Structure 1
Amino acid sequence: MKRVFSLKGLSLLLVLALFLSIIAGCGSKETNETASQKDEGEKTTRTADEPAWQADTSPIEFDWYVNFSWFAHKWGEDAISKYVTDKTGVSINFQSPAGNEIEKMNTMIASGKIPDFITIGWWEDAVKQMIEGELVLPLNELADQYDPYFFKVADGAKLEWYKQEDGNVYGYPNASSSPKDFEKYSEFKSSNQTFLVRKDMYEAIGSPDMSTPEGFINALEAAKEKFPEVNGAPLIPLGLNEFTDVGNSSLEDYLQNFLAIPWEKDGKVYDRRLDSEYLSWLKTLREANEKGLIADDIFIDKRPQMEEKIAQGRYFAMLYQRSDMAAQQQALYAQDPNSVYIAVDGPANSNGDEPTLAGDSISGWTITLISKEVEDKERAIAFLSYLISEEGQKDTFLGIEGETYEVVDGKPQFTADVQELLDADRAKFDLEIGASHKYWMLMDTNMTLPWMPPSVEPFKQMEDWTKGKTTSFAEFDGYNPTGTSEEGVAALKIAQEWGKVLPKLIIAESDKEFDKIFDEFLEKRDKFGQEKIDKYRQDIYEKNKAKIDASK
């Protein structure tokens, strides 16, 4: 973090330098005493009714690290960030890793130097390391000392959920729904998890049922036969999330949720990876690969390569998250509305049950923490309080009344030209306007529901398809052990082994070889300590369930 000073009047400062040096002893003593009092915890006299950020809107800049390599937005280039800076005095210097996120976090933690704000997936082991290493500050203590308004605008259920054993709360989530929220907004709840097909290709092969293994393979075959190339490049019959050293999310929770595989049975955590329906569908993918329907690209492509191929419409089907392809979907729609991707019934269990897709849970998606290295703790907690407040949410989602939004019949909505830009060109909208969750680090997806413009194509169909199929799995949040505990070490070893095994299962030459590879994996995970992990998961599940039950 660094203060932002103007260079205007530099010559006058030089002239005054000698005079200032003469009185520096007295002046520096007063300044140092004031700073010392602040550092030692002099408590503010502010109340919960007074937003602390309003007391000081002088220019200040914070370094804000976002632990996602794909994040590339810059603060100050769009109308919204300029407006927030003019209003609060706060500018942001966003930082993100150029390569592997885990390696970057490990390097920063080892150095003990963490940027002022950190936004990171709540499940990341680095969160625990930063808290245990005392590299981040308790938000509740900062609020007690500098900004009681935080407690007025923060969700008590979320604070209780993230309370650590020492009684402190170190991070605040985005996209988080408490059980009460989920129940209250259930009819509006949608999931990001979708099975997508390219509309024109799907319709050209007769809009087949792809929910059964046979129908799934037949559709991939038909698409490849009818559309062997897309603009001179080979068709990719099936697209997935990228393979990592610990697996592939499309072929784990996504597929398991589509198959409606339970997370628990009779109060006991269920090992979804052992489910017969799941293994049957992995064998279906093995068969698809044997028939030449799984392209080599999916084993090696990273997100940038995938985004390029989505924009080219090279995938026929995808088990993917709809929001991460919005810009590409919009580009396809502009070229040809029939070339977009639509959501259809994907893999299903043998009973044909509807999928149970993941929606917002109380853990949310990411959490944001404040570093102990931050120079101005008061401005930091005040800015966080502002962002999570209704005022901050409205400023970052809607922007400037009369310019980017207006109130019609009591309801805030984007002006016609802003809405038109949002519908036509999301990338340009982000660059020029910067509203509608461009700055998602502390977005409250429940609070912004009343301001959301009605979904339009080419996004409406995908979103609508997930409604009614969305479920909260909050009681299982954080049930996978991390860190250097025995359970954490065992879990990491098993995860890394699974990362090696999963692609081998897909490219196995026969079901017999598949079974052999999987059985060997089970033997290894037992040796690594699967039993300890099972006990850990059961314990966390029961604690989470008790928390949730208490909040109802």
Structure 2
Amino acid sequence: MHIRKISKYAIILGLLATTLAACGGDGSESAESTGAEQNQPLTKLTYWVELFPDAAAIMKSYGEVTAWQEIEAKTGVEIEFQHPAQGQLGEQFNLMVASNKLPDVVDYGWNTYPGGAQKAIRDEKLIPLNDYLEHAPNLKKLLDAHPEWRKMASTDDGDIIGFPFIREDVTQQVFLGPAIRKDWLDKLNLSVPTTIDEWYTVLKAFKEQDPNGNGEADEIPILIPAGELAFAGAFGIPNDFYQENDTVKYGPIEPGFKQYLTTMNQWYNEGLLDKDFATAATDSKIKDAKITSNQVGSTVLFLNGGIGKYMDLMAQSQPGFKIVGTPYPTLKPGEKPVFGYMDNPVTGIFAAITGSNKNVVGTVKFLDYLYSEEGKLIMNFGKEGETYTLVDGQPQYTDAILKNPDGLPISQAFRKHIMGATSGPFVQDVRHSQQYTTKPEQKEAMKLWSNTTQEKRMPPVSISAEDSNRYSSIMTDVNTFKDEMILKFIMGTEPLDHFDNYVEMLKGLGIEEAIQIQQAALERYNNR
């Protein structure tokens, strides 16, 4: 059994508690002074967390969310939410951790802390949970039942980082993939493409046969960003690190990436890829405008914020508008795709107890409640009788969410009332996902997008604190050069004959050293 060493700090605090108790104090000073060593009831908590943009549009704080209000009512704990300014999450996190005073709980991707979560523990910015699991029976039960979840929630040294957001079912881990206008396919008597060659045939037809029926050659057959995984993956590589039999490789320097770039260059030259892809595919407002103006034939979309969103938006003005998901493309018919978008069950966002917290045990007990059956129900469904009712023992959302009386779209109605679709210290209930994703096109897309082997996918490794600065420096230069060159190769301003020179340049920038750092990280992860 792994036994953690008791820190000098803990010993000193323990002695202090004993001394104060011997003096006959009333315990109030002791509770303040001894912090984690006390088991005082928790009454108030400061909680720092990103306010998602669509939530920020309708509220100032998560304190307005029905689920959190219900949690406060059930536990008697008052939560003071602190949110970074919109668009400044990383910058404000860095400023905050540089200070000596942190909120009680910080909900964040702690492995992005400089040097990783292990360095944050060494810096006493966060307190690992290993010594407190006796006060967190609900979380402990989950981690004991799912060793891989515990692995993902831990550092390389085995320290549990914090209370994780967990997606309990594989269907919840898949929410993004290639999508196409089914009404355009039907009009041109075409089938959903599955291979790169079939995609080329379909895109040519979209370009030349006026599927939107306005008599103009204004169709954009496909709108995707440079390096898009859904299509690069067809050539056996992602636009990032991956592993083959536990050996780390970097996709953008592999021969398959040149094949991918050659295909994208051909599609660009023939007008199949949007001429403005460099900006249009990454700017949500431009993308919205192009799709809703009936120009885009295919793209990569989210299930709810994409397929569901656009079908709802177009339902009145164009009743025949229909988007469906497609399988991730392959090179040969019948091949099973290897790469595809899939989140980890433990997403990497943790509600971590900080070194400034004065009541660690009370905070652990409070956060663990959110993993209980009652806590899980509240976080995913809100308040019984208001946002959900039990039908044959199963929670069903009410019209407060599904037909919001204030006219909020379903995505924002969910934000207003529950936390089931975002990050947070709880388990996302599969019954939430089943009701959120309602259209048959969405359900079918989820099945198609889930059908990938993921055998070459990198697990959520952590770069060591010792390698952190060097790795960050290398990858800043590598990504800047790589992204610039990918655009040039696709648009033809750099001939593909120069691909080998590009690879040598990346090696000169240190990509091979970065691969070795990732290799060491993979080996540490496998040994957790």
- Provide the residue aligned with 1:269 in structure 2: 248
Spell out the pairing of 1:140-289 with structure 2 (5 A cutoff): 140-141=130-131, 147-149=135-137, 151-152=139-140, 154-156=142-144, 157=147, 158-164=149-155, 167-176=158-167, 191-208=174-191, 210-225=193-208, 226=210, 235-240=219-224, 251-259=227-235, 261=237, 263-289=242-268
**484 and 227 in structure 1: CA distance in 2 versus 1, 3 angstrom threshold:** same
Amino acid at match of 2:94: N
Deviation at 1:368, TM superposition (A): 2.8
Query: Which residue of structure 1 aligns with residue 126 of structure 2?
Result: 136
The Cα offsets for residues 350-408 of structure 1, whole Å up to 9 and x where unpaired, read as: 46512233434354253332333445545533332122333221111122334433333
Question: Is 1:448 aligned to residue 430 of structure 2?
Answer: yes
Assess if the C-alpha contact under 8 Å between 1:143 and 1:150 holds in 2. Answer: no
The answer for unaligned runs of 5 or more in structure 2 is 1-24
Matched, 1:106 2:106: no
The aligned counterpart of 1:406 is: 389
1:332 to 297, 300, 314: 314
| Residue pair 2:181, 2:298 contacting (<8 A) in 1 also | yes
Q: Judge which range, 473-482 or 524-533, deviates more.
A: 473-482
Render the CA deviation track for 1:15-47: whole Å, top value 9, x for unaligned: xxxxxxxxxxxxxx96762344432x43439xx
TM-score, normalised to structure 1, is 0.73
Aligned identity (percent) is 19
**Aligned residue identity for 2:523:** E
Distance in 1 (alpha carbons) for counterparts of 2:526 and 2:398:
44
Q: Residue type matched to 2:62 in 1? A: W
- Please name the residue that 2:300 is paired with: 319
Question: Any idea what the Cα deviations from partners look like across 1:91-118, whole Å, max 9, x if unmatched?
Answer: 3525244335444433334445544433
Match of 2:492 among 508, 516, 519: 508
Partner Cα distance (2:348, 2:286) in 1: 22
Name the residue aligned to 1:42. Answer: 37
Deviation at 1:293, TM superposition (A): 3.2
8 Å Cα contact 1:153/1:388 also seen in 2 = no
Alignment-derived partner of residue 64 in structure 1: 48
How far did 1:504 drift? 1.7
Q: Is the 8 A contact 1:330 1:425 kept in 2?
A: no
Q: Which runs of 5+ in 1 are unaligned?
A: 1-28, 46-54, 178-184, 242-247, 548-552
Matching of residue 361 in structure 1 with residue 336 in structure 2: no
Is 1:429 paired with 2:413?
Answer: yes
2:99 aligned with 1:120:
no
Q: For the Cα contact (< 8 Å) 1:68–1:101, is it kept in 2? A: no
What is the distance in 1 between the residues matched to 2:27 and 2:99?
30
Q: Matched residue pairs, number?
A: 484
Instruction: Give the structure-2-normalised TM-score.
Output: 0.76
Q: 1:544/1:270 Cα in 2 relative to 1: closer, same or farther (>3 Å)?
A: same
Show the counterpart of 1:308: 288
What is the distance in 2 between the residues matched to 1:99 and 1:285? 31
Deviation at 1:452, TM superposition (A): 3.6
Q: 1:464 corresponds to which residue?
A: 447
Query: Matches of 1:80 and 1:259 in 2, distance apart?
Result: 44
* Partners of 2:156 and 2:462 within 8 A in 1: no
Question: Any residues of structure 2 matched to 1:510-525 within 5 Å, and which?
Answer: 513-516=495-498, 518-525=499-506
Q: Distance in 2 between matches of 1:37 and 1:529?
A: 49
2:10 is matched with none
Match of 2:21 in 1: none
Residue 137 of structure 1 deviates from its aligned partner by 2.5
Contact 2:349 2:423 (C-alpha < 8 Å) held by counterparts: no
Deviations along 1:306-337, whole A, 9 cap, x unmatched? 56335555432113443442444432345545
Higher relative contact order (CA 8 A, sep 6+): 2
Q: Which residue of 1 aligns with 2:331?
A: 349
TM-align CA RMSD: 4.0
